[in-house]
């Protein structure tokens, strides 16, 4: 695998390997010895020198072989998401959500799961580089002291600092402190992605309270800083539980499919040209004066949608909710805010609070465009770039890369020497978030102390340390900086005590004042936006969206995320120009045809993919592809959509042209067929019938069933709530040491994921009904795979697990042929990483790494079952429901997956399976699966 390059010899003893943490003792020694002996580049592993506070277990009780858990936070576009990280003898191996932290509630997303792999990325920067030559922090400090002297003479004139917008109190404090020191220095902020504040306010909502939700181009279920919280709340209104349901109704207006749109009861694909018309009509139908046009000149699809939406809103107000995508133009977001005002939802289902992230900070001199202008005016002689990668993510028309090269003195702090680092005089390695002391705030405003899990593997620094270094030219420890920030908060007397609790719980509960809701907004803000519906953008439109897996491209060198199937297309290792069929046929384009997509004087070259559910004339491109300096994994995957972006139209462009080049590029997907062919696989049920007893599909058997002894493990998957986010796939990969096989092997149909999310579409391709169906091993009681194995390498456990005995497998692959669910995966080659690759450090020591030529598949996380069993025996208590949770269950933001003991009638899974809709996939084959499904309930009102 490209990602698994063996380390260069120089990496064998990275700086810091020889440094022993304070409080060095036998355990430290064992760990260090073990780690460094085990793998190159790993010698730095270790609990950081500062006193960490483990989540559940005191460090003193660490027993080799028993994992320890620590609470910390991962920055999601700068916002905190609380996580709990599992470490084995000092090396982080797995990330889970922090149930106690409001933005996580115990769940995570695919990127968070995969971020553990980036920690061990062999291609991370290991030490400072000066003009591309290996250097040191000391050398940088020397040069900086000199430069700083000159700058301070002029109060920091012509000195620009570029960071990503942050929620970190400490980092912000350090930046302000720097600006105070250098009044003339300027602080710019850049994110290639959306800003979540508008008109000085940040909308936050409570979907659970809303009976009717209108989402305008908003993927609040998956692509939002609070998506985990939102999805959890939304799901509570979608599932049948305890034989009852209280479904809300979701209306979605969007140009391209999103996880939210896929959950909609009523979805209307609208192009940017039609959007304002439809919104205007909605406002008009509600008696609002919003926008011209009113119900006039709506197409009949739109008319019906507007009519029913308006009716529902009027009937259910104020228990309704309107949300707008953060990518939308201000006027659209104002329309939504005005609508919320009219419907009286403010304070009930939605509240506008002070922004948590620093985008709008008064001390900030503006965004990247402002910086670019300053640079072009020659007002930037010294530029420090912290974290961001503008040379790659800047809109094309800023011509930032060239301007950056023209800056006399520039320094880049980042995890990789990326496109930006390449163009700066200095590249200084930044620590991975699991190596960093910092603090972050969640979207809701609550803070989390970000404590490191491990000493930096390489000679790296955290952002706060770096800003302090720039300000004072002296090294400071992030630990002290963070404590400095928080010592102020709370009563300083009990600081140590509360500090300890904050770390322990992974949230700063008391001290941090939750962000206050703002008072009533000025009328200007809440007035209906005035827009001109008559002059739409010219079709076709290019819709820019962050890559579902790679975000703005920062995860490009993460092999797990590259190989994680993208929603709706199952595309891997690539991005594409997604067209609706009509548009493609209009240009005589077929899947895989390489086209030149042009907007004005900007153009990109990429393969075409036919997409379902797009509004007419809408071309979707994902940002984050086509990296040139990401590393061996990420370089050259797909095309770079930023090159099509202009500062004027960051998210939508009109008047695009498509030119067929004649070249063809094979797009690789893990799923190639998206129709159920009329088969009864993933079921839908209208809310009205959701409680009707299912038609039983129990088949008889000539054989008397095997006697059950003890536990009977089983799983239930609720299609009503599954949003198809693929977090389970990523979590399974992290938990079970599942290898990455690469683009070519996936093209040959050899992906290794143990759980997959099948996606089916039904009906009109322009606006189909769609359903996501996670498919792990069904653990059939009459398992067809077991019957045909000639060497009994796959057999049944007394607790009903369909076990795969790797050591016994000879690889006839007959079991895979005979598995009707095709969940078995085969090691066609030796997919393991090279023995000396640091990625082995991530591997779960409790899961076998499979060799070439053996079959493998979902085990229901048998290692977790046994761990739970052992823990229960150790404590001399019976296993409790919930003691054992599979990786896919634990990560799921919508609690769609429930696992447990069917022998216990009161277990959550047993109760789930008593729900009326419970059904087995392909039950007619009488395989008796232990994994069953609940149908997807939809509440369109039509059939209700």
Partner 1 sequence: MKPSLPPEPILDPALTLAKVSVQVSDVPLHLPRPRVWLAGFAAAFLLVCALVVGIANLFARGIGIWGVNVPIAWGFAIVNFVWWIGIGHAGTFISAILLLLHQAWRTSINRFTEAMTLFAVACAGLFPLLHLGRPQFFYWLLPYPDTMGLWPQFRSPLVWDVFAVSTYAMVSLVFWYVGLLPDLATMRDRAAPRWKRQVYGVLALGWRGDARHWFHYEKLYVILAGLATPLVVSVHSIVGLDFAVAILPGWHSTIFPPYFVGGAIFSGFAMVLTLVIPLRKLYHLESFITDRHLDLMAQVMLATGWVVAYGYFAEFFTAWWSRDEFDQFVLANRALGPYAVPFWGMLAANVLAPQFLWSRRIRRCVPALFAVALVVNVGMWLERYVIVVTSLHRDFLPSSWGMYHATFWDWTVFLGTIGLFLALLFFFVRLLPAIAMSEMKALVTKKGRVA
Partner 2 sequence: MTAPPGLLAEFVLPEAFAAAVRRVRAAGYTRLEAYMPFAVEGVADEIMRGRRSPMAAAMLIGGIASGLGAYGMEYYAAHIYPLNVGGRPLDSWPSFVPITFELTVLGAALTGVFALFWTAGFPRLDHAIFSDARFDRASQDRFFLCIRGDDPLRAGPGARDLLLAAGAESVAEVAL
The span of 10-18, 233-241, 489-497, 811-819 binding partner 1 (CB under 8 A) equals: 811-819
Q: Of the candidates 254, 552, 593, 786, which one interacts with partner 2 according to CB under 8 A?
A: 786
Q: Is 862 in the site for partner 2 (CB under 8 A)?
A: no
- Binding to partner 1, residues 575-614 (CB under 8 A): none
Q: How many residues bind partner 2 (CB under 8 A)?
A: 20
Q: Of the candidates 790, 876, 878, 905, which one interacts with partner 1 according to CB under 8 A?
A: 790
Q: Is 684 in the site for partner 1 (CB under 8 A)?
A: no
Q: Is 59 in the site for partner 1 (CB under 8 A)?
A: no
Which residues is 262 bridged to in the sheet? none
The smaller minimum CB distance to partner 2, of residues 111 and 809, is found at: 809
Residue 705 interacting entry, from partner 1, partner 2, none, C-beta within 5 to 8 Å by type = partner 2
Is residue 626 within 8 Å of 636, Cβ to Cβ? Answer: yes
| Dist. CA 735–CA 886, nearest whole Å | 9
Q: How many residues bind partner 1 (CB under 8 A)?
A: 53
Q: Of the candidates 316, 796, 813, 869, which one interacts with partner 2 according to CB under 8 A?
A: 796
Residue 771: strand, helix, or coil: strand
Q: Of the candidates 473, 646, 795, 872, which one interacts with partner 2 according to CB under 8 A?
A: 795
Quickly tell me which residue has 């598949």 as its tokens. 857
Q: Of the candidates 100, 311, 820, 941, which one interacts with partner 1 according to CB under 8 A?
A: 820
Q: Is 854 in the site for partner 1 (CB under 8 A)?
A: yes
| Dist. CA 696–CA 287, nearest whole Å | 49
> Quick one: residue 600, left, alpha or beta (phi over 0 = left, psi -120 to 50 = alpha)?
left
Q: Which pairs count as long-range contacts for 585-590, CB under 8 Å and 24+ apart, including other chains?
A: 587/658, 587/660, 588/660, 589/658, 589/660
Q: Of the candidates 817, 866, 914, 942, which one interacts with partner 1 according to CB under 8 A?
A: 817
Residue 851 beta carbon to partner 2: minimum distance, rounded to whole angstroms: 23
The smaller minimum CB distance to partner 2, of residues 163 and 931, is found at: 931
Can you state the angle between helices 300-316 and 272-285, rounded to 10 degrees?
A: 40
The smaller minimum CB distance to partner 1, of residues 673 and 874, is found at: 673
Query: Residue 17's CB: how many other CB atoms inside 10 A?
Result: 20
* CB neighbour list of residue 99: distance below 8 Å, 6 or more residues apart: 105, 106
Pick from 706, 710, 867: nearest CA to 796 = 706
Map residues 925-944 to x or -, x wherever contact with partner 1 holds by CB under 8 A. Answer: x-------------------
Q: Is 820 in the site for partner 2 (CB under 8 A)?
A: no
- Binding to partner 2, residues 205-224 (CB under 8 A): none
Residue 782 beta carbon to partner 1: minimum distance, rounded to whole angstroms: 10
* Cα dihedral 440, 445, 447, 450 sign: negative
Q: Of the candidates 458, 825, 864, 936, which one interacts with partner 1 according to CB under 8 A?
A: 825
| Dist. CA 87–CA 80, nearest whole Å | 20
Residue 786 beta carbon to partner 1: minimum distance, rounded to whole angstroms: 8
Q: Is 799 in the site for partner 2 (CB under 8 A)?
A: no
Is residue 740 within 8 Å of 559, Cβ to Cβ? Answer: yes
Map residues 732-761 to x or -, x wherever contact with partner 1 holds by CB under 8 A. Answer: -------------x--xxx-----x-xxx-
Q: Is 705 in the site for partner 2 (CB under 8 A)?
A: yes
| Dist. CA 263–CA 236, nearest whole Å | 13
Residue 786 beta carbon to partner 2: minimum distance, rounded to whole angstroms: 4
The smaller minimum CB distance to partner 2, of residues 771 and 819, is found at: 819
Q: Is 852 in the site for partner 1 (CB under 8 A)?
A: yes
Is the preceding omega at residue 540 within 30 degrees of 0, hence cis?
yes
DSSP letters, 267-322, are EEE--HHHHHHHHHHHHHHTT---SSSTTTT--HHHHHHHHHHHHHHHHHTTSEEE
Can you state the angle between helices 137-153 and 463-472, rounded to 10 degrees?
A: 50
The span of 440-448, 558-566, 701-709, 916-924 binding partner 2 (CB under 8 A) equals: 701-709
Q: Is 698 in the site for partner 2 (CB under 8 A)?
A: no
DSSP letters, 186-245, are EEEE--SS----BTTBEEEE-GGG-SEEEEES--TTTSSTTHHHHHHHHHHTTS-BTTB-
Is residue 324 within 8 Å of 380, Cβ to Cβ? Answer: no
The distance of Cα 756 from the centroid of its chain, to the nearest Å, equals 17
Residue 574 beta carbon to partner 1: minimum distance, rounded to whole angstroms: 18
Residue 758 interacting entry, from partner 2, partner 1, none, C-beta within 5 to 8 Å by type = partner 1
The smaller minimum CB distance to partner 1, of residues 852 and 914, is found at: 852
Pairing verdict, β 447-450 and 438-441:
antiparallel
Residue 61 interacting entry, from partner 2, partner 1, none, C-beta within 5 to 8 Å by type = none
Residue 749 interacting entry, from partner 2, partner 1, none, C-beta within 5 to 8 Å by type = partner 1
* Tokens standing for residue 880: 């409790």
∠ Cα 533 596 668 (to 5°): 105
The distance of Cα 55 from the centroid of its chain, to the nearest Å, equals 23
- Alpha carbon distances (Å) from 413 to 236, 389, 698: 42, 9, 62
Largest pairwise CA distance in the chain: 92
Q: Is 615 in the site for partner 2 (CB under 8 A)?
A: no
Quickly tell me which residue has 């796939």 as its tokens. 729
Residue 925 interacting entry, from partner 2, partner 1, none, C-beta within 5 to 8 Å by type = partner 1
How many Cα atoms within 13 Å fall on the side-chain side of residue 872?
14
How many Cα atoms within 13 Å fall on the side-chain side of residue 617?
17
Is residue 255 within 8 Å of 583, Cβ to Cβ? Answer: no
Residue 829 interacting entry, from partner 1, partner 2, none, C-beta within 5 to 8 Å by type = partner 1
| Dist. CA 886–CA 783, nearest whole Å | 21
Q: Is 664 in the site for partner 1 (CB under 8 A)?
A: no
Map residues 616-655 to x or -, x wherever contact with partner 1 holds by CB under 8 A. Answer: ----------------------------------------
Q: Is 459 in the site for partner 1 (CB under 8 A)?
A: no
- Binding to partner 1, residues 855-884 (CB under 8 A): 855
Residue 138 interacting entry, from partner 1, partner 2, none, C-beta within 5 to 8 Å by type = none
Q: Is 493 in the site for partner 2 (CB under 8 A)?
A: no
Q: Is 29 in the site for partner 1 (CB under 8 A)?
A: no
Q: Of the candidates 56, 590, 692, 787, which one interacts with partner 2 according to CB under 8 A?
A: 787
Q: Is 563 in the site for partner 1 (CB under 8 A)?
A: no
Residue 715 beta carbon to partner 2: minimum distance, rounded to whole angstroms: 18
- Backbone φ, ψ for residue 594 (5° rounding): -85, 130
The smaller minimum CB distance to partner 1, of residues 656 and 740, is found at: 740
Is residue 398 within 8 Å of 369, Cβ to Cβ? Answer: yes
Is residue 429 within 8 Å of 459, Cβ to Cβ? Answer: yes
The span of 99-107, 123-131, 197-205, 816-824 binding partner 1 (CB under 8 A) equals: 816-824
Q: Is 785 in the site for partner 2 (CB under 8 A)?
A: yes
Residue 92 beta carbon to partner 1: minimum distance, rounded to whole angstroms: 32
Q: Of the candidates 150, 184, 675, 866, which one interacts with partner 1 according to CB under 8 A?
A: 675
The smaller minimum CB distance to partner 1, of residues 483 and 756, is found at: 756
Is residue 72 within 8 Å of 119, Cβ to Cβ? Answer: no
Q: Is 666 in the site for partner 1 (CB under 8 A)?
A: no
Binding site for partner 2 (CB under 8 A): 701, 703-706, 780-787, 789, 792, 795-798, 928
Binding site for partner 1 (CB under 8 A): 671-679, 681, 745, 748-750, 756, 758-760, 773, 775, 784, 787-792, 808-814, 816-818, 820-822, 824-830, 852-855, 922, 925
């Amino acid at each position: 695998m490209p990602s698994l390059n063996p380390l260069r010899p120089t990496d064998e003893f990275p700086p810091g390997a020889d440094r022993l943490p304070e409080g060095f003792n036998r355990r430290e020694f064992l760990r260090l010895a073990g780690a460094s002996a085990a793998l190159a580049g790993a010698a730095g592993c270790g609990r950081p020198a500062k006193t960490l506070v483990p989540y559940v277990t005191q460090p003193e009780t660490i027993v080799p072989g028993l994992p320890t858990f620590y609470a910390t936070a991962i920055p999601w576009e700068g916002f905190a998401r609380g996580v709990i990280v599992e470490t084995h003898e000092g090396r982080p191996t797995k990330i889970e959500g922090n149930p106690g932290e409001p933005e996580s509630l115990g769940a995570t997303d695919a990127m968070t799961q995969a971020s553990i792999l980036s920690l061990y990325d062999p291609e991370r920067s290991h030490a400072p580089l000066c003009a591309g030559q290996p250097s040191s922090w000391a050398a940088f400090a020397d040069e900086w002291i000199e430069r700083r002297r000159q700058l301070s003479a002029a109060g920091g004139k012509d000195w620009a600092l570029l960071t990503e917008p942050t929620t970190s109190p400490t980092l912000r404090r350090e930046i302000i402190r720097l600006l105070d020191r250098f009044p003339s220095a300027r602080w710019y902020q850049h994110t290639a992605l959306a800003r979540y504040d508008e008109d000085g306010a940040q909308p936050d909502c409570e979907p659970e309270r809303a009976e009717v939700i209108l989402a305008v181009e908003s993927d609040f279920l998956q692509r939002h800083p609070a998506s985990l919280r939102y999805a959890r709340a939304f799901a509570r209104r979608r599932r049948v539980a305890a034989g009852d349901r209280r479904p809300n109704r979701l209306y979605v207006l969007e140009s391209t499919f999103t996880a939210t749109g896929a959950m909609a009861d009523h979805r209307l694909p609208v192009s940017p040209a039609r959007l304002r018309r439809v919104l205007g009509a909605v406002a008009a139908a509600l008696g609002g004066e919003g926008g011209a046009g009113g119900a006039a000149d709506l197409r009949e699809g739109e008319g019906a949608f507007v009519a029913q939406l308006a009716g529902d809103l009027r009937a259910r107000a104020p228990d309704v909710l309107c949300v707008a995508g953060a990518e939308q133009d201000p006027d659209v977001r104002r329309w939504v805010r005005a609508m919320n005002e009219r419907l009286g939802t403010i304070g009930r289902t939605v509240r506008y609070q002070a922004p948590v992230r620093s985008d709008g900070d008064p001390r900030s001199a503006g965004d990247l465009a402002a910086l670019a202008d300053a640079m072009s005016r020659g007002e930037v002689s010294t530029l420090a770039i912290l974290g961001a990668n503008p040379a790659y993510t800047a809109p094309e028309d800023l011509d930032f890369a060239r301007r950056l090269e023209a800056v006399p003195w520039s320094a880049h702090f980042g995890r990789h020497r990326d496109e930006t680092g390449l163009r700066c005089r200095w590249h200084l390695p930044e620590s991975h978030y699991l190596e960093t002391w910092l603090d972050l705030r969640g979207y809701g405003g609550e803070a989390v102390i970000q404590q490191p899990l491990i000493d930096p593997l390489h000679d790296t620094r955290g952002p706060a340390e770096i800003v302090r270094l720039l300000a004072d030219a002296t090294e400071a420890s992030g630990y002290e900086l963070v404590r400095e920030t928080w010592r102020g908060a709370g009563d300083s007397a009990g600081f140590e005590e509360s500090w300890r609790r904050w770390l322990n719980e992974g949230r700063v509960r008391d001290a941090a004042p939750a962000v206050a809701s703002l008072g009533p907004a000025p009328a200007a803000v809440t007035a209906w936006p005035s827009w001109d519906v008559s002059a739409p953008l010219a079709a076709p439109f290019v819709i820019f969206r962050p890559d579902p897996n790679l975000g703005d491209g920062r995860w490009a060198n993460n092999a797990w995320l590259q190989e994680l199937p993208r929603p709706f297309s199952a595309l891997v290792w690539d991005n594409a120009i997604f067209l609706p069929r009509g548009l493609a046929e209009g240009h005589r384009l077929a899947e895989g045809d390489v086209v030149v997509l042009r907007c004005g004087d900007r153009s990109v070259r990429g393969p075409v993919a036919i997409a379902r559910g797009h509004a007419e004339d809408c071309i979707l491109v994902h940002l984050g592809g086509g990296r040139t300096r990401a590393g061996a994994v990420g370089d050259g995957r797909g095309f770079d959509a930023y090159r099509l972006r202009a500062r004027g139209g960051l998210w939508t462009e009109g008047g695009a042209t498509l030119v067929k080049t004649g070249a063809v590029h094979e797009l690789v997907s893990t799923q190639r067929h998206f129709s159920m062919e009329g088969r009864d696989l993933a079921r839908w049920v209208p809310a009205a019938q959701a409680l009707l007893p299912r038609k039983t599909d129990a088949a008889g058997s000539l054989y008397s069933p095997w006697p059950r002894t003890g536990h009977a493990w089983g799983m239930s998957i609720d299609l009503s709530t599954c949003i198809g986010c693929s977090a389970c796939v990523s979590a399974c990969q992290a938990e079970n040491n599942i290898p990455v096989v690469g683009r070519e092997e996936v093209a040959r149909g050899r992906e290794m994921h143990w759980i997959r999310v099948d996606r089916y579409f039904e009906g009109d391709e322009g606006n189909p009904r769609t359903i996501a169906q996670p498919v792990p091993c069904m653990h059939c009681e009459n398992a067809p795979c077991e019957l045909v194995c000639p060497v009994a390498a796959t057999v049944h456990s007394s607790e009903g697990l369909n076990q795969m005995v790797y050591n016994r497998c000879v690889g006839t692959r007959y079991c895979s042929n005979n598995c009707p669910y095709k969940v078995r995966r085969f090691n066609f080659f030796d997919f393991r990483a090279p023995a000396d690759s640091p990625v082995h450090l991530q591997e779960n020591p409790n899961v076998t790494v499979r060799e070439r030529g053996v079959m493998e598949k979902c085990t229901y996380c048998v290692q977790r079952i046994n761990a739970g069993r052992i823990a229960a025996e150790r404590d001399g208590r019976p296993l409790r429901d919930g003691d054992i949770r599979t990786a896919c269950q634990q990560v799921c933001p919508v609690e769609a997956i429930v696992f447990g003991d069917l022998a216990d009638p009161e277990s959550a899974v047993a109760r789930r399976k008593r729900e009326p809709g419970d059904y087995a996939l392909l039950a007619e084959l009488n395989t008796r699966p232990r994994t069953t499904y609940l149908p997807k309930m939809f509440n369109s009102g039509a059939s209700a």
